[in-house]
Structure 1
Amino acid sequence: MVRGLPVRPSRPVQEFLMPALVRHRWWLSAALALSCAAQAQTQTPETPAAADAPASAASAPVVNSDLDAPMFYQLLIGELELQGGQPGVAYQVLLDAARRSNDEELFRRVVQIALQSRAGDQAAIAARAWREALPTSLEAHRTQIQLLALLNRPAEIPPVLRSLLALTPADGRGPLIAALPGLFQRSPEPARVQEAFEPLLRETAAKPETRFASLLVLALLAKNADRYETALIHVRAAAKDFPEREEPLLMALELLPRRPEAEALVTAELQAKPDKQALRLAYARALARAQRPGDAAREFRVLTQESPDDASHWLALGALELDLQHPDAAETALQRYLKLVDKPGGASSSLAERAIAAAGLDKADKEAHLQGQLLLAQAAEMRGDFKTAEKRLAGIEAAPGNLDIAYRRASLLARQGRIDEGRELLRQLPADRDQDRRARVLAESQLLRENKQWQAAYDLLGQAIKQAPEDADLIYEQSMMAEKLGRAQEMEALLQKVIQLKPQHYHAYNALGYSLADRNERLQEARDLISKALSFAPGEPFIVDSMGWVEFRLGRLGEAERLLRQAYGSRPDAEIAAHLGEVLWAAGQQDEARRVFADAARRDPRNEALQSVMQRLQVRP
């Protein structure tokens, strides 16, 4: 019996002890010891209990615990120190106890104490001691890896991970490796992460059971570290060795903005297996994100043919056709979309509400439905059918202050010569937050820009910049207005400020380079600026157009034609058509130039750049 203990520990003491003693079964021995102590202190020789006890109880075997008195007191002290607000002392006492006992539950308790005290380094030390004391414990390995990742110490993880992989059955090693990037999603130094794991992952990539996961993780870590060429090498290896898997091709799409050659992996697969709709959809979305609406629309046209009852494909196609200045094609797609989601009947007050209620759409679908109605109104406006556009807008009942709807109505008013009313409509939108006020200013400046009110837009943006002097997007927009006003030096100064504030603002590099090329000044500097923009957004059609234009200014007609054809194929914009047509004209291909001009004029007859070059070359629309 343990001398000096009270007959029964108080309830708080029991609560202190339970976390440390659970699962070790020490609590059972302690309870038995305390019970024996209570019996010895309360019984007297006259007490008949012992004499009357059944013989079976007296002969019952005693189960001894490995909990001795010093260990019991050490656990008790540790928990009491923790309860008394001394987590550091409790950590040291209980960690020593865990090392002496090699008890997994006790190690887990020590790690928990350190984490609750926000002592990450101490938690990692305890986890390491846990793994060293119990080298076959999977939980100890995982805990140490997670803590090292949390502390951003990737270089210390590979030896632990190697040991964990050796303990893990073969069929579980691939998923274990695949989960690795998730530990470092927010790492401030992705290059260090990639360098730390590359040697181990190359080892595991040589083993059949872990090759696929290892190649994908190698690619993902390299991509996160902006090492796109290395990432593409691993993606190609995975696609070659595992042709039945789509994951490498989806990874290739993630590389597409920086490594355009990755696209060939996807196009080859779709050409061989055109029925892979999930891959085609991912490809179409990647093209849209890359600002290539022409190519994205091509893929969505295929998707609508293969799955004509999928409403989302028709909505995406309608938006892209509108972006391409194809209002009739956009309306056809959008009407098909509404036909699929609308059902007759319902008692709601508006067409949109009736359709949504009848279709049973969720919140996201409601927003998409309203967007479809809004795009239909925009298509009518693009055709010059303002009455139909206004009617469609009136049928949309969305949340008060919807900026998209207000802007379309303001645009309709401006197109009818009532721009002041349109501006007032935008100014009435609620703007309780800074981001709302900023969005309202950008919308109003865009309205003014579309209606050639350059000075008014410049002044409006100037007032907003006084309130937010480091807002790179506002400054960029003002630089575009300075260019329209013929203030080239001011535009250049504003763009340089944008680059200083936001070094990855590739639109600023492109705008500055194109401006120099268009004025036929400092052409090599212009080319360098546009190359910088392309390093951030390879294949972006307007930047490719700028590079084609500067090559034309440098007298390199063949390269200019190649680049401009590429840009126009991805985005058949009227301004790109103007550049391509002029290069074709200069190269002696006048008939093709006329066809390009005519095609662009049908879609956007009001485009200033197109009108200017056609007048200069005396080409009739």
Structure 2
Amino acid sequence: MLPPRRPLPLLKNQTLSLGALCLSLVYLLSACAQMPPETTTNEETEPSAREQHRDEGAAAAGEDAARSFPIDTFYTLLVAEVAGIREQYDVALANYYHQAEVTKDAGVAARATRIARFLNARQAALRSAQLWAELEPDNADAQLALTAELTLSGEFLEAMKHAERALALGGKAPMQSLAATAIGHQQLDEQLRAEFARLAEVYPNNDEVVMAYAMVLRDAKQYRRALALVRHIQEQHPEQIDAPLLQSHLLVDLDRRNEAIQLLENLVKIYPEETRLRLQYARLLIREDLNLARQQFAELVKQRPEDGNLILSLALIHYETNQLGEAKPLLDRLLELKQHESAAHFYLGGLAQKRGDNDTAAVHFQQVQPGNDYVEAITKGTKLLAASGKHRENSLWFAKLRERHPGQVEHFFLMEVELLRRNGEPQMALQVANQAISKLNNSGRLMYSRALLNDQLGNAAAFEKDLRTLLERDPDNATVLNALGYKLIDDETRRQEALQLISRALELEPEDPAIIDSMGWVQYRLGNYRDAEKYLRKALEKLPDHEISAHLGEVLWVQGDREAALKVWNDGLAANPESKIIPAAMKRLQIKETLEQHVSDN
């Protein structure tokens, strides 16, 4: 997208101006059109009135020191200027960049540099700045421009050289920016640190240089040395805002958070309109006093009502403190400003969910785009729709997700199947699983999921068929071996087959508590109570699960150790009060015992 309509940047003290270009071009064209035949009169040596007028016009345009260019160069540069006025910035840059290389003129190179930087054309800006600095090595602006471009390109040592040259010429080199960029790129090696230290010694009274070195020291975790430098800067330059800001960070680094807060509180009173100070103060308060932090962010939003970052921060504080009425208009404002729209939709969805308006919540969650909250928004939104029975809406959402993320098709099918299963729709889940497998017939995860659905629906043959297919593809899949073996335990005629499958799974995964539990259970059903107890105790040690507790309790009960069985069951219920498996086992065994006793008595 092109930048908004605005003029191209002007040069300071440039040797080439648009007015001079026009004047020179007009003169040259008229001279070519009216050029007299060769003569030997004194017109060759004495300036004409027209020439004198031309010279006066050039001087008025600031061109008395400008060099002469060929007509093609003048024309190309005029085209560049007109292109800039017409917002054809790429044409303007191309012409200036080319003529800078051709003419080796400092003014043209400077103009090309500024246009390239204006357009964020980094490669052209770097090359033009290098040419400008070569042509005008004693121009501080040229050195500063090259410093900036070298910094952006990650050539930090080279940038330091030109920064030092700019300082020597009286320029204010962006040393803090250079240090911050180098630290951000994690390229602040010992050689670069040494250069910052050397410059700080050469320019001990230059706050920009010394501040940059303090930043470097902080990065090296030399907090006390950095703090001493910062305080020195504050003494020399009490109006400098960067120094106390860095001081607050260093105090936090030194676990002197209260001092940092007190420092910023005092500074905010002195400089109430200084946003950076108040923002740092507000951020520190978030962990200490959320109510006071909210007040500071509210003031920041008043000062900068269009700043989406500040609005979002204040909205989140309201959200976290359950001030939902205050959070909503701020989040709505973000949508109006078209800033942080995904975050706004995510938290508006959360607000709607808290109000019990699940439909509105789902609408907001669906508008969250890929980013920090994306996965959570999908998870929350689809769960809400599934819980509300809005399965068609969920199906459409999952279809869009699969289309948007072709590499995650299997994942989203599995999510949809699982949500339907958990919300009491196994038949619908099976239909989706069948649809998914028709598209992704090599997906073992989908086939395994379908097998479990068929088991839930009582389709034993379909369950076994899918698991057998998976074992044909991967005979050493311990999970599938265990699942099939565990299912076959219920069939008295196939328990030896079950034992073989589970034994193979245990060989592959000897420490898996689920497989150990299966081995204990098959041993129990085969009548091997001692072996069963050994395996089940081991499984329960590894995984305190209510199903394992139910199995172990049953084994202990049938062996006559009722007290131990009751303890295992009670412990299992304490860990999982919602368990239905343990009460079912207890009830079944007690009924069985009562019946056996009744038969014995009669």
Normalising by structure 1, we get a TM-score of 0.47
Larger of the two Rg values belongs to structure: 2
Query: Which structure has the higher relative contact order (CA within 8 Å, separation 6+)?
Result: 1
